[in-house]
Chain A
């Protein structure tokens, strides 16, 4: 039986639980799945290019980098439903009066780790597109470089800066804002002032060397994971997915433009 080796970055201690659960889902099916955990996305991309792994569970930046390093030959196999329409949210202190990108003029914008698409690269791109690049003071919190913002740590640091009046606005992924603002925990303290257009986040990336039939069979089994199956659901909750879906590549256009514009290197 063929076994496809999937790479994932261990951005949380739960990564082992998640991937053992996904491996269990594939057990007895063709192709089988095993996994390798990496400490950062750069190592994972290199491992994919070197053929050490067959599939990489990539962030959007890791996808863009793999795309650049393969001359566009790589292909996306699947993504989470949550990856299809991810957004960046800008958050300020409640009552700040800020609304929209224009209101960032002469303000201090706290960004997350420099390799976080949602909390650094794209927010800066939106600021530049709005013609505000020279009129916004950028404060960076590079607290989880290598994880592409997955840990959420740098976004929390950016929010702390806003709460401490060290910054006026913090940039973060919609998942972080949804997570911290549950139960109106920041009502009267923080408020969103702008939300970006939707873009795509993670995907499973493979190289052309992966046989189409094998890749299709693997994706087919992945898509069979069900929120209604208690065993699957436990894994899916930890991974933040309700449904695995086929990739929608146009959702990466924004990040491709931002990476080119900011000259973010394919290898840091």
Chain B
């Protein structure tokens, strides 16, 4: 058959049929009418959808609470702590990053090896966090390696997106690379209180820059329960910033790193998110500076690290019939 045109709905149906429930599936849409048609279809099917320039991403409902299989799933994602130094010194930073902290940067070779191993172990998506990744002198290479392997997200405060770093951003492939920007509130108040005076407006400017450059921008907010107005205020602001609801992540303060309060998180009750730092593999990015989340040295490789995670998860589930909670990081 010659040049069968793609159809966005048929492509979504086919992709969803091949994907585990809850896995996002993206399809190319040819024009706004196609996008509208696919969005209508997704809504009628009860699927969450997100659209961007020329594409739609659909996620079928995942398993409902109360019936998770005994075999707790480990997400097919790999996190990289590209570096631990940061242009900010946030009051609650879970890995104690500051401008003064040694970078402890991942090298290009390490990332390349881990991506190759990860793809062999079933990893499908990569996340690059820090510290502030845009301080890493080889970020462009790191992102390129990851993006060749799968969807890649850079977690950033977006305050450095100018000059040469903006040029680096511009060279990233839009369809493969997204940004997840930390923004805690809809006005400077709470955000600046935790992250430093004047940081909110610069992050907002960074979000706008990334959007104008055609990148998908998700926003992640860390919320303290002390101010109940924080959530609605942020939602109104993100509406204004045209951040789709599906691209907003709100999580509670984690009692880790610099934080003196918040939700207690321990490996025993936390769905793992395999994370590589210069010091080795960790259970989850939220504890990538803490020994209780350490899995093993970097030399163990992704495959063995994943197996070690699997064994620990299964053992804990069997011993304690633990209920695993999710601490969303993306």
Contact = CB atoms under 8 A, between A and B. Distances in A.
Interface string B257-278: 0000000000000000000000
A14 interface: yes
Contacts of A230: 64-67
A144 to B, nearest CB: 10
Contacts of A237: 61
Contacts, number: 89
A249 interface: no
Which bucket holds chain B's interface residue count?
20 to 34
Given A164-B5, A185-B38, A234 B10 contact: no
B40 A183 contact: yes
Interface in A211-268: 230-235, 237-238
Contacts of B32: none
B290 interface: no
A179 interface: yes
A32 to B, nearest CB: 15
A151 B69 contact: no
Contacts of B64: 230, 233-234
B67 A166 contact: no
A247 to B, nearest CB: 26
Among B1, B20, B44, B71, chain A packs the most CB atoms within 10 A around the CB of B1
Contacts of A14: 20-21
Contact of A185 (B37, B61, B66, B70): B37
Interface string B77-99: 00000000000000000000000
Given A17-B63, A234-B67, A166 B1 contact: yes
B13 A179 contact: yes
B291 interface: no
Nearest to B7: A163
Contacts of A234: 63-64, 67
A98 interface: no
B20 A13 contact: yes
16 contacts: A12-B17, A12-B18, A13-B18, A14-B20, A20-B69, A20-B71, A153-B14, A156-B13, A156-B14, A160-B7, A163-B4, A166-B2, A183-B42, A230-B65, A230-B67, A232-B67
Interface of B: 1-5, 7, 9-10, 13-14, 17-21, 37-38, 40-45, 61, 63-67, 69-71
